Each structure stands twice: as C-alpha cells, then as structure tokens.
Amino acid sequence: MARERVCDQCGRWVADKETLYEMDVTLRAEAPSVLEISEEDLESAGQDAWNEIVDMLEGMSPEQVEEAVDQVHETHRFLLCHECRGVIHKILRRHRIPFEP
C-alpha cells in the first residue's frame, strides 16, 4: 500500500514528481547518570520488591502506562512538502545550539 503524500504541516497533496520530506522527532529522557544494575542487585531486591512493582504496574490505566513510556522515549514522523520543509529548516537554524569545545 502506497503511503499517502500529504504534508502533515499544511495538509497539501504532494505530487509524485515533487520531493516529499520526512522529519523524525525523538524525545528521550536523559538520565542524570548511568544506572547500572548487577545480578546481585536483582537478587537482593527480593520477591517482595518485584511483587510491589508488578502491583503498581497492574494498577495503572493504559493511559497512565502510555504517559509513563512517553516520558522516557517517544518518536514522531512527519511528512513535509518543500515549502513547509523550508519553514522548519529556518526555525532549526535560528535555534541551533552553538558548539563550544
């Protein structure tokens, strides 16, 4: 099945002869430090700790689970026509974070 060639920003149909741009946006939580869990950590947590975690997860609604997942990692893909790609490009260049070694 062919993917529909509609710009997600302006809604315009993008003809086959025109370039359609894909923009991927990823939002990830950055951990303050790397969390390393050893086999000993897992073993010492005990069954009660695991049961508590399972009970907490079972008590969450699907919406709460989705929100918790989204707070850690989410990705979105947008299709853009040439004009909207240009607008996004200008915004990104204007807000570029300068690199300082």
pLDDT values of the chain reduced to their tens digit, one per residue, 101 residues: 456 899 999 999 999 999 999 999 988 887 766 667 777 777 777 777 778 878 888 888 888 877 877 777 888 999 999 999 999 999 888 877 666 65
Backbone angles phi, psi at 48, to 5 degrees: -60, -40
CA dihedral for 56, 62, 68, 72, sign (positive or negative): positive
Euclidean distance between CA atoms 20 and 3, whole angstroms: 11
The pLDDT value given to residue 99: 60
DSSP string, 82-93: HHHHHHHHHHHH
Q: Determine contact, residues 80/20, Cβ cutoff 8 Å.
A: yes
Dihedral in degrees, nearest 10, Cα atoms 26, 63, 79, 90: -50
Q: What is the pTM of this model?
A: 0.56
The pLDDT value given to residue 1: 46
The pLDDT value given to residue 97: 65
Q: Determine contact, residues 87/95, Cβ cutoff 8 Å.
A: no
